[in-house]
Structure 1
Amino acid sequence: MNASRRVALVAGETSGDLLAGLLLKGLKGRWPDLSAVGIGGAAMAKQGFEAWWSSDKLAVRGYVEVLRHYREIAGIRTQLRERLLQERPDAFIGVDAPDFNLDLESSLRSAGVKTVHFICPSIWAWRPERVEKIRRSADHVLCIFPFEPELLARHEIAATYVGHPIASVIPLVPDRLAARRALGIEGEGPVVAILPGSRRSEVQYLARRFFDAAVLMRSRRPGLRFVVPAVPALREVIEAHSRDAGLQDVLIVQGRSHEVLAACDVTLIASGTATLEAALFKRPMVIAYNMHWLSWIIMRRKQLQPWVGLPNILSSDFVVPELLQDAATPAALAEATLAWLDSPQRVAALEERFTQLHHLLQRDTARLATDAIEKVLAG
């Protein structure tokens, strides 16, 4: 790759923006004059990324929810495809967001643009039919879990295990007291982190349940403190849900999810990438999810494993509770979250298990990914 190389990237939500930002930092560390364009967010912008659209535009989950925004999202993809085919970057890197990126990658690849997909779609968990689309779409797949390259090789898809970038960012031994000081949380006593998601649809279905659960928890333990990291675009919505639930003195901060996870004793958290981050912070958690009933029925039919949360999937066990759809009642959420605070031995065993997982996922991701991308460009 020479100084004039130009790549395009698409990251579809907050977690994808974070991963893409870490990847861009590695790429620009080796090739300082690299230019990058496409769809992204704040973490990518810090690396000099030129966003033609914000990643917030793609932050939609669930079949019904996607249908509501389909026309706008499809229009963005069409415009992006046409612009990339005109400007022809040296490579396109789709970061997660497989429903958006794989079709785009397929079109670009058929036109001669090199394509890389960063984060293997979870074909081992659900929607195994995606493997054929991956084979058509990606010249190479960058995998964040160690078992994925072998799985893809069975389908003649080139792939490289690069580790999970977040595992190199999060310290093996997080400093809880330093995080609390940074957030202005003073004194002793347990802190509960509430993470209702980074998408508007997630917050819509989960935030009130989480805050109602928090009210129940505080009624049983008046000294409990709650802290919520809010995506900037959703902060007002989250604050409104907190007020409507009657939750007093909750600390809502803009972003800063890593500090919040480091500071807490337990987290009530939406299923998604954040659950893996919580595991890397060695924090006990209760994973919850709720969505439109039709989206739920469709998803359940395509599910291949009994677990939904990444910590449980990677452990092949229910190491943390999952309360999904109708089971995610405020009372059940409160009960499961408080149970961690009463079980120090259970927490210690979980911390040991999560430490082993951290070591497994910790690799020099930027270097390994950059090496793989360079080989794709040279091929």
Structure 2
Amino acid sequence: MAKIMVSAGEVSGDMHAAAVLKKAKEKNDSIEIFGMGSTALKEMGAEILIDPTEISTIGYIEALKNLRQHFKHLSQMKKLLRQRQPDLVFLVDYSAFNMKLAKACSLEGVKVVNYFPPSAWVYNKGRAKKMAAYGTHIAAVFPMERDVYQQAGAEVTFVGHPLVDLVEVKKSEAEIRRDLNLKTEAKVISLFPGSRRGEIESLLPEMLKAAKRIKNESPETVFLLAAADGIKIDYLESFIKKVELELKIVQKRNYQLMKISEFIISASGTTTLEASILNTPQIIAYQAALTTYLLAKYVFKVEFVGLPNIIAAEEVVPELLQNDFEAERIAELALNWLNNKQELNKIKEKLQTVRQKLGGGGAVEKTADLLLREGGLKNSG
């Protein structure tokens, strides 16, 4: 039986890996899939032996707290590699971990495809050279990613970004509002505090304080809070009770919330790209350990942290970083936008350019075909 070992360490990586491997299974239903991942991969039928999403962290310093557990997982994956002898290893995101696993695959002579590879196009181009030296085939989702890996000597296939296909809303705005019991004229702002407890504890309190101030100034505004998969409602409610704000928590409707929102206030990450594809303006929040921030800002000289801004190479949407992410500043920006549709329309125009740079669609199928081709796995479809 043909075998693919998968390594996805975070919620978003798990989702993207599952979409590709589901498509690969449709093309060749004899493939056995096993390895590291979480809910989405389990649901599509993969045998998941390690779920590391509980210890997912943001930043270099924060990851050190769980270093022993990460190395334990790496040791388990190396052992799995030797024991199960897959035809191909599919690495998705989780860069620091997957770079080490790519090296192990190289030593074992196992082919590797890396989807969402290390962000060498943002900083530290030496990582692209390492992945090239390991013989890793890069499935590039951004054009600048393709360029930097090709320059490093890696074999690269530009597949485009899968979110172009995955992000869609079939219901009309009127239907969504009706489902959520929202008035037609209500102005909606949605809060996306992230998918990890560390993010939520860092960002949600300031988001809620800002929301209360906005509500005082603009009583007709309605706030919705997106609950990420794996985050319990009562946990989120514990934050809301502290500010005494009327707010509805919504599960599994992220794209619908983006569609009906004037704009969103979001943790930096995949959500900001999803909102960009739906042409939804956003305020991007980012807080990390000071050492992590200083490394990114002054050592690696990262100009932007938000994906829409990185892709556009300009500040399309505002980023509130570190101490700048405070309730007063959030409320100031939000109230200006609520009273200035022209400003929001300018942002929407620029977000269209961001979407165009993500490719013309079909990334999931292109990546599935790449896996079958690289692994020598016959397409039986």
Give 3-state SS (helix, strand or coil) of 1:164's partner: coil
Counterpart of 2:54 (choices 57, 68, 74) is: 57
Letter of the 1:200 partner, please give it: R
Give 3-state SS (helix, strand or coil) of 1:60's partner: coil
Q: Does 1:351 align with 2:334?
A: no
The equivalent residue for 1:280 is 277
Give 3-state SS (helix, strand or coil) of 2:139's partner: strand
8 Å Cα contact 1:37-1:52 kept in structure 2: yes
Give 3-state SS (helix, strand or coil) of 1:226's partner: strand
Cα deviation, 1:40-95, whole Å, max 9, x if unaligned, reads: 22222231122112241342112232111111121112112112211111111111
- Equivalent-residue separation in structure 2 for 1:75 and 1:172 (angstroms): 40
Letter of the 2:123 partner, please give it: W
Letter of the 1:353 partner, please give it: K
The equivalent residue for 2:226 is 229
Q: Does 1:181 align with 2:153?
A: no
The Cα of 1:316 is off from its aligned counterpart by: 1.4
The equivalent residue for 2:22 is 25
Q: Does 1:214 align with 2:183?
A: no
Q: How does 1:1-379 map to 2 (within 5 A)?
A: 4-171=1-168, 175-235=172-232, 236-247=234-245, 249-361=246-358, 362-378=360-376
The Cα of 1:260 is off from its aligned counterpart by: 2.0
- Equivalent-residue separation in structure 1 for 2:61 and 2:236 (angstroms): 22
- Equivalent-residue separation in structure 1 for 2:306 and 2:247 (angstroms): 26
Cα deviation, 1:336-370, whole Å, max 9, x if unaligned, reads: 12222222222223223323433442321122112
The alignment of Structure 1 onto Structure 2 pairs a total of residues equal to: 375
Letter of the 1:224 partner, please give it: T
The Cα of 1:172 is off from its aligned counterpart by: 8.6
- Equivalent-residue separation in structure 1 for 2:263 and 2:148 (angstroms): 34
TM-score when normalising by structure 1: 0.92
Gaps of 5+ in 1: none
Cα 1:367–1:53 change in 2 (3 A) is same
- Equivalent-residue separation in structure 1 for 2:23 and 2:199 (angstroms): 31
8 Å Cα contact 2:61-2:289 kept in structure 1: yes
Letter of the 1:328 partner, please give it: F
8 Å Cα contact 2:102-2:136 kept in structure 1: no
8 Å Cα contact 2:169-2:255 kept in structure 1: no
Give 3-state SS (helix, strand or coil) of 1:51's partner: strand
The Cα of 1:174 is off from its aligned counterpart by: 7.7
- Equivalent-residue separation in structure 2 for 1:157 and 1:232 (angstroms): 35
- Equivalent-residue separation in structure 2 for 1:168 and 1:262 (angstroms): 16
Cα deviation, 1:20-43, whole Å, max 9, x if unaligned, reads: 121122211211222211122222
Give 3-state SS (helix, strand or coil) of 2:230's partner: helix
- Equivalent-residue separation in structure 2 for 1:133 and 1:241 (angstroms): 43
- Equivalent-residue separation in structure 2 for 1:333 and 1:130 (angstroms): 35
Letter of the 2:128 partner, please give it: V
8 Å Cα contact 2:192-2:265 kept in structure 1: yes
8 Å Cα contact 2:146-2:158 kept in structure 1: yes
The Cα of 1:145 is off from its aligned counterpart by: 0.8
- Equivalent-residue separation in structure 1 for 2:192 and 2:78 (angstroms): 34
Q: Percent identity?
A: 28
- Equivalent-residue separation in structure 2 for 1:146 and 1:173 (angstroms): 28
Give 3-state SS (helix, strand or coil) of 2:75's partner: helix
- Equivalent-residue separation in structure 2 for 1:239 and 1:138 (angstroms): 48
Consecutive aligned runs of 4 or more in structure 1 exceeding 4 Å deviation:
none
8 Å Cα contact 2:228-2:252 kept in structure 1: yes
The Cα of 1:138 is off from its aligned counterpart by: 4.8
Letter of the 2:154 partner, please give it: I
8 Å Cα contact 2:91-2:113 kept in structure 1: yes
Letter of the 1:201 partner, please give it: G
8 Å Cα contact 1:195-1:269 kept in structure 2: yes
- Equivalent-residue separation in structure 1 for 2:350 and 2:171 (angstroms): 15
- Equivalent-residue separation in structure 1 for 2:357 and 2:169 (angstroms): 12
8 Å Cα contact 1:60-1:200 kept in structure 2: no
- Equivalent-residue separation in structure 2 for 1:185 and 1:178 (angstroms): 10
8 Å Cα contact 1:275-1:310 kept in structure 2: yes
- Equivalent-residue separation in structure 1 for 2:351 and 2:168 (angstroms): 12
- Equivalent-residue separation in structure 2 for 1:24 and 1:374 (angstroms): 10
The Cα of 1:173 is off from its aligned counterpart by: 9.0
8 Å Cα contact 2:128-2:148 kept in structure 1: no
The Cα of 1:333 is off from its aligned counterpart by: 1.1
Give 3-state SS (helix, strand or coil) of 1:233's partner: coil
Give 3-state SS (helix, strand or coil) of 1:269's partner: strand
